[in-house]
Amino acid sequence: MSWTTISQQPRVVELLYHSLRNDRLAHAYLFAGPRGAGKKQVALHLAKSLFCTEKEADACGACITCRRIDAGNHPDVLVISPDGASIKIDQIRNLQKEMAMRAVESFHKVYIIEHVDKMTTQAANSLLKFLEEPPAGVVALLLTENSHAMLPTILSRCQIIHFSPLSPEVIARKLGEEGIPGGAARVVSHITSNLEEARVLSQAEWFAQLRNLMIQLVQECKQHNSSVLYTIHDMLQKSDKIKEELPLFLDLLILWLRDILYVQVDRHAHLINSDQQDVLQGQALLWTKAELLRGIDLVMETKNRIERNANPQLALERLVLQIQEG
């Protein structure tokens, strides 16, 4: 892996690469962005780029130094994660001792702190002092999904780099490169911006089952009989997982109704469920545009109701009856 292959964050890559090339690396960076945006991947690649013996301002990923960093046993690279729910004062004190020692294999030492916003007050104050007077050659890489929860004084001593959520196109492309079918890849890429979560969903049997049940539910909605209520009852009784993932079920339903609308207006290139075009084509004959738009609004209301702890089965039955009422 090289900087050029980390394509999901081009602005971040360009900034860090040029800082390395021009020997203008800051002593402390805060990588801020959503889960799954690649913050740790970039942090480790930056560390490898400082130590790699084969490339300048980049990492080969294959030399003994790069492999030791990947394995977590390089003496000059330290990664800290929360101990339980938080990062504690003793972890920061140990970090300071490690970083104060002379580097073993080069001039640099690097420490990476994951979920840095989860520090205790004591740990945060201790880190602040360390950031104010960093030892020569030490580079701090602080990772957070919630920079607003951090001390302003810590933020002011770091160069803040914002990581954007991964786009659906990037996620779908990466999953496709891993051999995941295009239809499944497109669907999960619009459900989550976390690449790892998208990968897990696209390969999970329960997720495929959830999607199939959603398609069945939409079909039965237009039959105007009670079979859809039995489907809901069976669906929720047979699987606790589906009950837990009902908000996800409703996200899938919104995407499906939107796809039916796209079929009706002949915008097939925009379909998310592109592997189900025949089914969508058939269902597009059963819905009016007004029904679809109202249905999407009702699904969003139902999702909000469930997230406020409404009874899942009653909320879903109400949704179906409202849709059937037209």
Predicted confidence pLDDT, tens digits, the chain (326 residues): 788 888 788 899 999 999 999 999 999 999 999 888 889 999 999 999 999 989 989 999 999 999 999 999 999 999 999 999 999 999 999 999 988 888 777 789 999 999 999 999 999 999 998 898 888 899 999 999 999 999 999 999 999 999 998 889 989 998 999 999 888 899 999 999 888 899 999 999 889 988 988 998 888 887 766 677 777 777 777 767 777 888 899 999 999 999 999 999 999 999 999 999 999 999 999 999 999 999 999 999 999 988 888 788 888 888 888 888 76
The pLDDT of residue 143 is 97
Whole-prediction pTM value?
A: 0.74
What is the C-alpha separation between 272 and 187, in angstroms, rounded? 6
Query: Does residue 278 sit within a domain?
Result: yes
Query: Left, alpha or beta for 47 (phi > 0: left; psi -120 to 50: alpha)?
Result: alpha
Please check whether residue 202 is in contact with residue 175, taking contact to mean a CB–CB distance below 8 angstroms. yes
Largest CA distance in the chain: 76
Query: Does residue 184 sit within a domain?
Result: no
Residues 215, 127 share a domain: no
Residues 141, 289 share a domain: no
Residues 102, 239 share a domain: no
Domain termination site, one of 162, 177, 193: 162
Domain termination site, one of 162, 193, 226: 162
Residues 27, 158 share a domain: yes
CATH of the domain at 311: 1.20.272.10
Query: Does residue 179 sit within a domain?
Result: no
The pLDDT of residue 159 is 96
Query: Does residue 189 sit within a domain?
Result: no
Q: List the 138-144 sheet strands across, edge first.
A: 77-80, 109-113, 138-144, 28-32, 159-162
Residues 222, 147 share a domain: no
Query: Does residue 193 sit within a domain?
Result: no
CATH of the domain at 133: 3.40.50.300
Looking at this protein, which amino acid is placed at residue 57?
A
Query: Does residue 147 sit within a domain?
Result: yes
Residues 20, 134 share a domain: yes
Residues 13, 151 share a domain: yes
The pLDDT of residue 220 is 82
Residues 15, 156 share a domain: yes
Closest CA to 33 of 20, 22, 46, 43: 43
Query: Does residue 247 sit within a domain?
Result: yes
Domain termination site, one of 112, 131, 162: 162
Residues 247, 152 share a domain: no
The pLDDT of residue 105 is 73
Residues 283, 228 share a domain: yes
Query: Does residue 168 sit within a domain?
Result: no
Domain count, the chain: 2
Please give the angle made by the CA atoms of 129, 73 and 84, to the nearest 5 degrees. Answer: 55
Structure letter (DSSP) for residue 137: T
The pLDDT of residue 225 is 63
Residues 274, 220 share a domain: yes
- What is the domain range of residue 308? 204-325
Residues 157, 251 share a domain: no
Element holding 325 (H helix, E strand):
helix 312-325
The pLDDT of residue 306 is 86
